[in-house]
Amino acid sequence: MLVIVAPGQGAQTPGFLSPWLEDASSAARLEWLSAVAGLDLAHYGTEADEDTIRDTSIAQPLLVGASLIASSQLLPGDGTPTGVGAVAGHSVGELAAAVGAGVITADQAMVLVRERGRAMAEAAAATPTGMTAILGGDRDEVLAALTQCGLTPANDNGPGQIVAAGTTEQLADLADHAPKGARLRPLSVAGAFHSEHMAPAVDHVAGLARSIDASDAHTPFLTNSDGTALTDGADVLARIVGQIARPVRWDLCLETMADLGVTGFLELPPAGTLTGIAKRWFRNRGLDVEILSLNTPDQLDEARAFCARHAEPAARTEVVSA
């Protein structure tokens, strides 16, 4: 059973798109997506420095664009998964996953991510906020500490990795009262994503999403809200929009993958963050899951073979011929 996932903000690194632009088809595809997004994604993915691509309004379209050009090369036709058991995305990666599930088009995803990034950047500028990763510690004690400080557990990535979001004062309070056995790592982000501070961004993106006639998913979409496998297109789109101001429950997405019987876990570029989490998570549960990080075009043959091994049996012949 094959799962394909798309990473979220923070996975980008300077120059990560350079190998893809050596391929004429990928370069042309990125040029089109750049036109739709109104950003020079080739420049940001090859020449821009770390501080520049950390900007929310740039990072988000860059990440979604990267996942889309890779999936269009990996999978047959328009990048539609054949024999894939489920798709998922972490935070903004949900937009790329929704394209893979057939819920929205790539062009619609790029418009939404452009507006999502801009709106979240504006919301972040309204109040001094931020995020802090909490590594280790007892889960219940960590969550209790966040509640005491008025913080939101914005990303729950599994045991030993929770990200808190809130005002700078609330985060400072957490630093002064760190849970026993936990390490705190302030994150270099513009604001308190996936918390109530992003409500204005939800309103803006929701207004745009009302003009989209979402299709029902042909591949189950695992939602960040609670890990549920969805196929209703309108529900998928509504949850993606609402997730801007709600916590990401990646831990529950992993739980659903396990329940579905995942055997192959492939992360689209820029890959590494989600595969790292998955390796620990599946290993701790004694599950034998093959994991692949797709980062460069020269891995495409390996990735296609990976998909063929783990695709649903009836679809394996078609996947192999991609």
Q: What Rg do the C-alpha atoms of the chain give, in angstroms?
A: 19
Asked about 194 being catalytic, the answer comes back as: yes
Whether residue 98 contacts residue 240, with contact meaning beta carbons closer than 8 Å, is answered with yes
The residue annotated as part of the active site, out of 26, 57, 71, 91, is 91
Q: Which of 267, 293, 289, 271 is nearest to 280 (CA)?
A: 289
Q: Contact at 8 Å (CB) between 291 and 317? A: no
Q: What are phi and psi of 134, to 5 degrees?
A: -115, 110
Can you tell me the distance from the alpha carbon of 303 to that of 306, in angstroms, rounded to the nearest whole number?
A: 5
What is the three-class DSSP state of 312?
Answer: coil
Tabulate helix, strand, coil % of the chain (nearest 5): 50, 15, 35
β-bridge partners, 2: 84, 264
Q: Where are the alpha helices (DSSP H) in 83-222?
A: 93-100, 106-126, 139-149, 168-176, 199-209
Tokens of 112: 């939404």
Could you tell me if 53 and 14 are in contact, meaning their C-beta atoms sit under 8 angstroms apart? yes
- Annotated active-site residue 26? The verdict is no
For residues 235 and 19, give the distance between their C-alpha atoms in angstroms, rounded to a whole number.
36
Q: Which amino acid is at 82?
A: T
Cα 49–chain centre separation? 21
Active-site residue identified among 67, 90, 194, 310 = 194
Angle at 120 between CA 176 and CA 155, to 5 degrees: 50
By annotation, the residues acting in catalysis are: 91, 194
